[in-house]
Amino acid sequence: MFQESRLGDEQREKSSETGSTIWYNDQENRRFTGSAEKEQSETQAVDDHGIMAAVCEERVSYMNISLLEPIGVKPELIEELAAPVREAGHTFTWYEQKTTDIEELKRRSAGCDIVMIANNPYPAEVVMAADRLKMLDVAFTGIDHVGLDACREKKVTVCNAANYSNQTVAELVIGLTIALLRNMKACDGSVRNGGTSAGLMGREIAGRTVGIIGTGRIGMITAKLFLAFGARVIAYSRHEKQDAKELGITYVTLEELMARSDIVSLHTPNNASTKGMISRELIGLMKPSALFINCARGPIVDSAALADALNAGKIAGAGIDVYNTEPPIPDSEPLLHAKNTILTPHVAFLSEEAMVRRAHIVFENVTAYLAGRPQNVCEL
């Protein structure tokens, strides 16, 4: 049973002005905003990309929109960003606890025209069960956690939050690199155990060769940061960029990059063409003094081969933020038992600034879609 939300007089008054009612369900940790009357009418339009999109006709059609999980910002910001949607007469529901339970995801998606998620899995079974689903708004850059075949079959428009975490991810790459070069884990342990700097000689980024695999936006920002530290940068990418060449970045083959680099940083999406791309053979080309940094996607790398190389001393270290599964990582993950690693629990995207940017983008995706001009549309 719903109870009226204690959202403050100002928000209640705004809701009254728009003919909406805001409720809060303590048991289910969800907030609900609904318009008094709805009349369903839907037309189809083709955007510039040739993608079929359900277009909201404001005078007759209202949509049910649901945010299924938290997106790392304060409730006040969600209410602020949802205000234009509510004022247009649409229903907006959001949940303050995430779930991976398939049946619960189905329940939360039931009757929704637009579903908003972050990095929580949204499998094909849920997509197929969502009877009214027209648009899936992913508050994340990658969409490999979504049942894309089902979205394609149902002609669901999938939009992502491109570019919200570019700077944040690039900065963690630098952080992991410095932590490895300067032996941060060992330094911390030495101080805590009454030790000294003996045996803790570090190395600099300046003068070293950095190999960037994938010169998309994050790869380019990462390259610029390494250049600012005085590194030489080489790159491998399916598509070479003129602006990269103008920065002095030289494109080479993947094999040459792995062999020449002192630091390798991975920046490609996880898809059918990149899964397992960093193979045992490629890892075997790396220098014994080289570092490997992965803040992209886990399945792109043969993690067992990487762990073997680390344990055998064939490479010097690795900074890893992503794995074959999302944290918590099972004990069977080889990198958990590899030497000279710094492991982080998929936090590369996670900064206060990035979360605010992401929230703005995903709500802008909704309003653009409702206006018949979908943005950040992903190719399926």
Active site residue 337: no
CB distance 114 to 137 below 8 Å = yes
Please tell me which residue in 30, 232, 267, 346 is annotated as part of the active site.
346
Residue burial 226-257, b: 16+ Cβ < 10 Å; e: rest: beeeebbbbbbbeeebeebeeeebebbebeeb
DSSP 301: B
Bridge partners (DSSP) listed for residue 212: 235, 265
Residue burial 123-156, b: 16+ Cβ < 10 Å; e: rest: eeebbbbbebbbbbbbbbbbbebbbbebbeebeb
Contacts of 93 (CB under 8 A, 6+ apart): 30, 31, 32, 33, 64, 65, 66, 67, 108
DSSP 189: H
Match 């103008």 to its residue by tokens: 246
Please tell me which residue in 42, 171, 256, 326 is annotated as part of the active site.
326
Active site residue 260: no
Contacts of 219 (CB under 8 A, 6+ apart): 212, 213, 235, 237, 265, 267
Residue 245, SS3 per DSSP: helix
CB distance 166 to 221 below 8 Å = yes
Residue 306, SS3 per DSSP: helix
Burial of 17 (0-12, 13-18, 19+ CB in 10 A): exposed
Bridge partners (DSSP) listed for residue 3: 24
Burial of 356 (0-12, 13-18, 19+ CB in 10 A): middle
Please work out, in degrees rounded to the nearest 5, the angle formed at the alpha carbon of residue 340 by the alpha carbons of 337 and 345: 65
Please tell me which residue in 297, 333, 357, 358 is annotated as part of the active site.
297
Active site residue 326: yes
Active site residues: 297, 326, 346
